[in-house]
């Protein structure tokens, strides 16, 4: 399994066509909506202003690292695993796990995914998110409240934008990939896990086993996530995309 790396791949790639048509978006009728979504979900390059007119500060990165580590330790102890046992199951060193649990080390997306899968958890479970909804009408999560995972080595960002994650067995995310950056191959999800995504900006290369799909702005894809897969930006400009993860039970 490859760690997150700076993607140096250039030139042509093998492109095949997915057999299943993604239901996530109709490119023509939703082009205007996508432009609006891009503005609303764009990476936090400018301060967010709340209703009182004051900028809303994003959650501190150290706080998020601490929350991730605390959740890893809690899930490990609930599973009755020692650090050595979790290290063996996740292929992550005991020293790294210890630093992550203490909040001293922010893991890369590849390491975080290995830990989550070994604990039978999602990344969102370990990052932490909004509490379960207590309203049957509507649930709102402000932009400043988003849990954001940042890969310290590559700059990859994973924004959790589901106001009610887990409802109907799914969650919605916004991913940001800088130029020439790859997530590396991520571990397979449990059978029944599906991913859909639509590219808001830039060009995205999706790696599915031996298949490579290249998606441009407005393109979408659906795939079963029970195989190793990864995402790469092989261009000189940033890439941003919305992803929906659903789990059939």
Domain boundary pick from 105, 126, 147: 126
| 43 lies in the same domain as 145 | yes
User: What mean pLDDT comes out for the span 209-234?
Assistant: 95
- pLDDT given at position 81: 94
| 80 lies in the same domain as 156 | no
Which tens digits make up the pLDDT trace of 70-84? 999 999 999 999 999
| 167 lies in the same domain as 46 | yes
User: What mean pLDDT comes out for the span 89-99?
Assistant: 93
| 83 lies in the same domain as 46 | no
Domain count for the chain:
2
Q: Is residue 67 part of a domain?
A: yes
Q: List the alpha helices (DSSP H) in 18-60.
A: 31-41
- pLDDT given at position 129: 65
Which tens digits make up the pLDDT trace of 5-62? 444 443 333 333 334 444 444 443 444 444 544 444 444 433 333 333 333 344 445 5
- pLDDT given at position 136: 62
Distance CA(143)–CA(121), nearest Å, equals 24
At 83 the three-state DSSP class reads: helix
User: What mean pLDDT comes out for the span 141-165?
Assistant: 88
pLDDT tops 80 at residue 3: no
pLDDT tops 80 at residue 149: yes
| 165 lies in the same domain as 232 | yes
Domain boundary pick from 84, 99, 126: 126
CATH for 73: 1.10.260.40
pLDDT tops 80 at residue 164: no
Q: Which domain holds residue 93?
A: 61-126
| 30 lies in the same domain as 115 | no
Which tens digits make up the pLDDT trace of 166-217? 666 688 999 999 999 999 998 888 899 999 999 999 999 999 988 999 999 9
CA distances from 186 to 61, 124, 194, 195, 228 (A): 23, 15, 14, 13, 6
pLDDT tops 80 at residue 130: no
Distance CA(40)–CA(173), nearest Å, equals 13
Distance CA(229)–CA(107), nearest Å, equals 19
**Cα–Cα nearest to 223, from 239, 211, 233, 234:** 211
CA distances from 40 to 102, 122, 129, 246 (A): 34, 25, 19, 23
Distance CA(72)–CA(99), nearest Å, equals 11
């Amino acid at each position: 399994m490859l760690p997150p790396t700076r993607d140096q791949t250039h030139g042509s790639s093998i492109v095949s066509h997915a057999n299943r048509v993604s239901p996530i978006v109709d490119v023509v009728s939703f082009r205007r909506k996508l432009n609006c979504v891009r503005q609303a979900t764009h990476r936090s390059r400018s301060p967010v202003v709340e209703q009182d007119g004051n900028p809303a500060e994003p959650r501190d990165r150290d706080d998020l690292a601490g929350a991730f580590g605390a959740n890893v330790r809690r899930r490990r102890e609930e599973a009755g695993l020692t650090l050595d046992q979790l290290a063996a199951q996740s292929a992550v060193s005991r020293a790294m796990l210890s630093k992550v649990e203490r909040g001293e080390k922010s893991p890369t997306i590849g390491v975080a995914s290995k830990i989550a899968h070994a604990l039978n958890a999602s990344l969102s479970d370990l990052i932490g998110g909004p509490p379960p909804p207590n309203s049957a009408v509507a649930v709102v999560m402000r932009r400043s409240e988003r849990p954001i995972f940042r890969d310290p080595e590559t700059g990859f960002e994973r924004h959790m934008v589901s106001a009610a994650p887990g409802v109907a067995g799914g969650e919605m995310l916004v991913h940001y990939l800088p130029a020439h950056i790859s997530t590396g191959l991520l571990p397979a999800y449990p059978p029944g896990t599906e991913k859909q995504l639509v590219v808001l900006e830039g060009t995205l290369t999706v790696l599915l086993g031996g298949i490579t799909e290249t998606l441009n702005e407005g393109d979408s894809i659906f795939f079963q996530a029970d195989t190793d897969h990864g995402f790469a930006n092989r261009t000189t400009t940033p890439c941003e995309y919305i992803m929906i993860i659903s789990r059939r039970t």
